[in-house]
């Protein structure tokens, strides 16, 4: 078990002017809040943060990192929250602990194995400080080392996550020792049987392997000494179990068919020349396998790894690998970025340390970038990094479904993008969203780690507005597609009505014509259109005149004969017209069921009220726009007479509420506003807004927005306002 004094000793040895006081306080705080907690092994919980802190001290990380190691689980596992932590330890440590807590949260959520790639990206996306990665790796390594007390299923799950997420990160950072240990422990816990079997197979061969290794190292030693080549150490080793197992599986080999079961390594003093000289000695002793020589010294791997690799044919005909590297290269190969400081000057000032940390940050970002950008996680890929971006993860944001499935979206995405990413049906019927349990506007920007729940209503439809705040092309395309479908459906419907009206004018059956598929198709073709529907749509859009369509349908002769413009009206028709005119109905009006439905929208300029005389205007993409007949815009619209249609209000029981603005001019005296709102309330009418001001000529101007059902209702409101003492005039105001 580690003691805090051991940790402090390491920090004092490795760091300039360390803030030991901070580490002691962190230790006390952690001990206090984890007190009484036990690990699965039965040991006090504190053992774990201490072990993590020790590893970080070993890596020569700063005292902030070491203190964070001590505190890394207090928010996750005790009652301490971030604010409390901040009040004791300040922003920097709190920020690091927050990052670690978020990552812990991700691990708890993700259960699907195929999400590994995404989880790894997300873990990295959450890292705003590179120290978080190193602390997390230390945390994970200690947990892996001590997992024998957990249940097998839990061990397997954590190990799989380690294999999928943390071992590749360690590899990327060049932390060879960390990666090997994580992988071997994971292998052991995911496939305990195979691990046992394979290690037994190796053990059986151990004496023979050791003997072979000894012969090899002796021979190397002799060769180097005879040639005066300096060396620090010659190592002989047996291949790691996990990489051996992977190789056997991938190549479908048995253990006896593996040629590189053993390997030798020469570590030379810190001058790369020594490596090349040593290489020449090796190639002098044994014959090299030509295509297997690799010079990672001249061209280092992008994870900083440097070494010479050569395979030679041994005395018994079996080939084996020899790696040659300097002491410094060896440390980098084992510890990767964590070795970064070890070769800095021993006596560093505080400022140099900060610069050094900054350098480390850049290195880590550079190394981790490919992990995030490539979709295939081919761990052997040694592609060089094309660009050096400071923002590691500028492009993506990762959010969860309530069930923990990860959805990867571009930055700036909203719940609507999320909804369409799940399923187009979900997007189409989306009516609201919750983020982390709270209802939010649909245009809210998603943040990393958000849990997003989409609220849907089965008959709900997409909105054109959404186009203003979706960023994914998938969502955009679906919404556009829906709008154009919708517009087409509307224009077909309008076209059908217009054509029906026209046939009635010619006194032929609309049904007969519209159901005459051949004729409709023929006419459509004459207009260069494919189908009858296209013809109707074209009429609806106002591109094709129904009268001309009828001319083509009837043929010139018949058309002339039936043309209502040349035909005399029957007495009945004349009589009906008179009656309709008398009761205030348009002759062939389209019935407006309500406003703002599929076919019709209310014109903003005059805001027509149910009961008021109205006229319709076919507007591209909006269907029929309903204007008040007296609207001043209507006169201008009349220029395009073909698009003007008669419309009338349907008799309806549905009480649709509409807001109307009224302006009352009054004498300038107190209580006017109250008097008017009282009068409106008395006739049980809703008030949306009311405001008063004084005009230049010292009159009261009171603007009230009321909610009315129709023209009659509005008239009643106006009358009741007019009766309030002091009111001079009342008028309706339109928005423009």
Per-residue CA distances from 720 to 570, 679, 733 (Å): 47, 6, 17
**568 CB burial (10 A radius; 0-12, 13-18, 19+):** exposed
For residue 445, give the DSSP letter.
P
Site for Mn ion in 697-736 (CB under 5 A): none
As measured in angstroms, the least distance from the Cβ of 72 to Mn ion is 6
Q: In sequence order, which residues have a C-beta less than 8 Å from that of residue 398 and are 6 or more positions away?
A: 118, 121, 122, 125, 406, 407, 408, 409, 448, 449
As measured in angstroms, the least distance from the Cβ of 198 to Mn ion is 30
Span of 134-142, 301-309, 517-525, 580-588 interacting with Mn ion by CB under 5 A: 134-142
Pick 60 or 142: Cβ nearer Mn ion:
142
Site for Mn ion in 37-76 (CB under 5 A): 73
Closest residue to Mn ion, judged by C-beta, is 139
Pick 136 or 627: Cβ nearer Mn ion:
136
- Rounded to whole angstroms, how far apart are CA atoms 71 and 105? 16
State whether the Cα torsion 623-455-658-706 is positive or negative.
negative
Q: In sequence order, which residues have a C-beta less than 8 Å from that of residue 195 and are 6 or more positions away?
A: 187, 188, 241, 245
- Rounded to whole angstroms, how far apart are CA atoms 70 and 46? 8
**490 in catalytic set:** no
Phi, psi of 311, rounded to the nearest 5 degrees: -110, 135
As measured in angstroms, the least distance from the Cβ of 206 to Mn ion is 35
Q: Which residue stretches of 386-437 are H helix?
A: 415-422, 424-428
Q: How many Cβ atoms from other residues are within 10 Å of residue 55's Cβ?
A: 24
Q: How many residues bind Mn ion, per CB under 5 A?
A: 2
* Rg for the chain, CA atoms, rounded: 41
As measured in angstroms, the least distance from the Cβ of 77 to Mn ion is 8
Span of 139-147, 202-210, 504-512, 608-616 interacting with Mn ion by CB under 5 A: 139-147
Q: Is 305 left (phi over 0), alpha (psi -120 to 50) or beta?
A: beta
Catalytic residue among 6, 12, 77, 92: 77
Asked if residues 137 and 160 have their Cβ atoms less than 8 Å apart, the reply is no
CA torsion angle for 350, 353, 354, 359 (degrees, to 10)?
A: 160
Residue appearing with tokens 């040659």: 324
Catalytic residue among 6, 12, 58, 76: 76
Pick 139 or 164: Cβ nearer Mn ion:
139
Asked if residues 262 and 312 have their Cβ atoms less than 8 Å apart, the reply is no
Pick 37 or 477: Cβ nearer Mn ion:
37
- Rounded to whole angstroms, how far apart are CA atoms 666 and 642? 45
Span of 136-144, 331-339, 383-391, 563-571 interacting with Mn ion by CB under 5 A: 136-144
Asked if residues 418 and 432 have their Cβ atoms less than 8 Å apart, the reply is no
As measured in angstroms, the least distance from the Cβ of 336 to Mn ion is 21
As measured in angstroms, the least distance from the Cβ of 159 to Mn ion is 16
Strand partners, 325: 267
As measured in angstroms, the least distance from the Cβ of 140 to Mn ion is 8
Q: Does 139 bind Mn ion (CB under 5 A)?
A: yes
Pairing of strands 308-313, 396-400: unpaired
Between the two ends of the chain, the Cα-to-Cα distance in Å is 80
Pick 73 or 502: Cβ nearer Mn ion:
73
As measured in angstroms, the least distance from the Cβ of 34 to Mn ion is 11
Pick 46 or 470: Cβ nearer Mn ion:
46
Span of 108-116, 138-146, 212-220, 225-233 interacting with Mn ion by CB under 5 A: 138-146
Span of 131-139, 364-372, 406-414, 463-471 interacting with Mn ion by CB under 5 A: 131-139
As measured in angstroms, the least distance from the Cβ of 452 to Mn ion is 28
Residue appearing with tokens 């269907």: 623
Pick 73 or 490: Cβ nearer Mn ion:
73
Pick 139 or 365: Cβ nearer Mn ion:
139
As measured in angstroms, the least distance from the Cβ of 86 to Mn ion is 20
Span of 132-140, 166-174, 269-277, 637-645 interacting with Mn ion by CB under 5 A: 132-140
As measured in angstroms, the least distance from the Cβ of 79 to Mn ion is 17
Asked if residues 7 and 53 have their Cβ atoms less than 8 Å apart, the reply is yes
Span of 128-136, 137-145, 320-328, 630-638 interacting with Mn ion by CB under 5 A: 137-145
Q: Does 534 bind Mn ion (CB under 5 A)?
A: no
Pick 139 or 335: Cβ nearer Mn ion:
139
- Rounded to whole angstroms, how far apart are CA atoms 397 and 444? 13
Span of 106-114, 133-141, 413-421, 577-585 interacting with Mn ion by CB under 5 A: 133-141
Asked if residues 656 and 666 have their Cβ atoms less than 8 Å apart, the reply is no
| Structure-token pair, residue 385 | 């990094």
Q: CB-side exposure of 667: number of CA atoms within 13 Å?
A: 8
Pick 142 or 627: Cβ nearer Mn ion:
142
User: What is the total residue count of the chain?
Assistant: 736
Asked if residues 434 and 440 have their Cβ atoms less than 8 Å apart, the reply is yes
Pick 139 or 534: Cβ nearer Mn ion:
139
C-alpha 29: how far from its chain's center? 37
**76 in catalytic set:** yes
Instruction: Fill in the per-residue mask, 73 to 92: x = in contact with Mn ion (CB under 5 A), - = not in contact.
Output: x-------------------
- Rounded to whole angstroms, how far apart are CA atoms 456 and 419? 9
Instruction: By CB under 5 A, name the binding residues for Mn ion.
Output: 73, 139
What residues are labeled active site? 76-77
């Amino acid at each position: 078990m580690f003691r805090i004094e051991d940790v402090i000793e390491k920090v004092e040895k490795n760091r300039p002017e360390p803030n030991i006081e901070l580490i002691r306080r962190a230790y006390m705080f952690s001990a206090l809040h984890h007190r009484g907690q036990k690990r699965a092994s039965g040991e006090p919980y504190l053992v774990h943060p201490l072990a993590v802190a020790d590893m970080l001290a070993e890596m020569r990380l700063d005292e902030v990192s070491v203190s964070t190691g001590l505190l890394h689980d207090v928010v996750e596992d005790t009652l301490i929250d971030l604010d409390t932590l901040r009040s004791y330890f300040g922003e920097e440590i709190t920020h690091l602990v927050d990052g670690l807590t978020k990552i812990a949260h991700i691990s708890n959520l993700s259960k699907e194995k195929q999400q590994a790639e995404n989880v790894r990206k997300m873990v990295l996306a959450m890292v705003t400080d590179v120290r978080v990665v190193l602390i997390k790796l230390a945390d994970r390594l200690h947990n892996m080392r001590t997992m024998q007390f957990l249940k097998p299923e839990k061990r397997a799950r954590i190990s799989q996550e380690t294999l999928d997420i943390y071992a590749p990160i360690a590899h990327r950072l060049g932390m060879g020792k960390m990666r090997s240990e994580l992988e071997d422990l994971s292998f052991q816990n995911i496939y305990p049987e195979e691990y046992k079997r394979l290690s037994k197979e190796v053990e059986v061969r151990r004496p023979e392997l050791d003997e072979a290794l000894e012969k090899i190292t002796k021979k190397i030693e002799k060769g180097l000494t005879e040639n005066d080549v300096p060396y620090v150490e010659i190592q002989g080793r047996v291949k790691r179990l996990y990489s051996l197992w992977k190789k056997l599986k991938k190549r479908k080999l048995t253990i006896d068919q593996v040629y590189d079961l053993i390997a030798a390594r020469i570590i030379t003093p810190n001058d790369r020349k020594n490596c090349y000289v040593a290489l020449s000695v090796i190639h002098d002793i044994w014959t090299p396998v030509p295509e297997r020589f690799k010079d990672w010294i001249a061209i280092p791997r992008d994870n900083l790894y440097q070494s010479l690799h050569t395979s030679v044919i041994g005395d018994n005909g079996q080939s084996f690998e020899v790696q040659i590297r300097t002491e410094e290269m060896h440390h980098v190969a084992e510890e990767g970025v964590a070795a970064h400081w070890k070769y800095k000057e021993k006596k560093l000032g505080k400022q140099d340390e900060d610069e050094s940390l900054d350098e480390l940050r850049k290195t880590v970002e550079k190394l981790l970038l490919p992990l995030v950008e490539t979709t295939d996680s081919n761990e052997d890929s040694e592609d060089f990094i094309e660009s050096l971006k400071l923002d590691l993860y500028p492009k993506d944001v990762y959010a969860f479904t309530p069930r923990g499935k990860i959805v990867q979206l571009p930055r700036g995405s909203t719940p609507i993008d999320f909804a369409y990413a799940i399923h187009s049906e979900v997007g189409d019927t989306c009516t609201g969203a919750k983020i982390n349990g709270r209802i939010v506007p649909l245009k809210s920007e998603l943040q990393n780690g958000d849990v997003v729940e989409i609220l849907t209503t089965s008959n709900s439809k997409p909105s054109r507005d959404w186009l203003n705040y979706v960023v994914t092309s998938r969502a955009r395309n679906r919404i556009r597609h829906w709008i154009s479908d919708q517009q087409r459906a509307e224009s077909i419907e309008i076209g059908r009505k217009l054509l029906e009206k026209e046939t009635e004018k010619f006194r032929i059956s609309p049904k007969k014509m519209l159901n005459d598929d051949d004729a409709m198709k023929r006419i459509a073709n004459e207009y260069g259109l494919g189908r009858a529907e296209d013809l109707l749509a074209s009429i609806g859009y106002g591109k094709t005149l129904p009268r001309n369509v009828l001319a083509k349908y009837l043929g010139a002769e018949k058309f002339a004969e039936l043309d209502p413009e040349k035909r005399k009206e029957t007495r009945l028709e004349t009589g009906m017209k008179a009656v309709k005119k008398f009761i205030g109905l348009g002759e062939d009006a389209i019935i407006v069921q309500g406003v703002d439905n599929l076919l019709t929208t209310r014109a903003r300029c005059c805001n027509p009220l149910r009961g008021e005389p109205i006229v319709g205007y076919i507007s591209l993409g909006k269907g029929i726009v309903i204007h008040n007949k007296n609207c001043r815009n209507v006169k201008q619209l009349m220029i395009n007479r073909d698009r003007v249609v008669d419309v009338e209000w349907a008799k309806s029981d549905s009480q649709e509420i509409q807001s109307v603005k009224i302006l009352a001019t009054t004498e300038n005296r107190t209580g006017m506003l109250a008097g008017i709102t009282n009068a409106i309330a008395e006739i049980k009418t809703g008030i949306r807004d009311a405001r008063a001001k004084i005009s230049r000529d010292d009159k009261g101007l009171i603007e009230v927005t009321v909610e009315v059902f129709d023209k009659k209702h509005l008239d009643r409101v106006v009358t009741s306002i007019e009766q309030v003492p002091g009111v001079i005039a009342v008028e309706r105001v339109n928005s423009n």
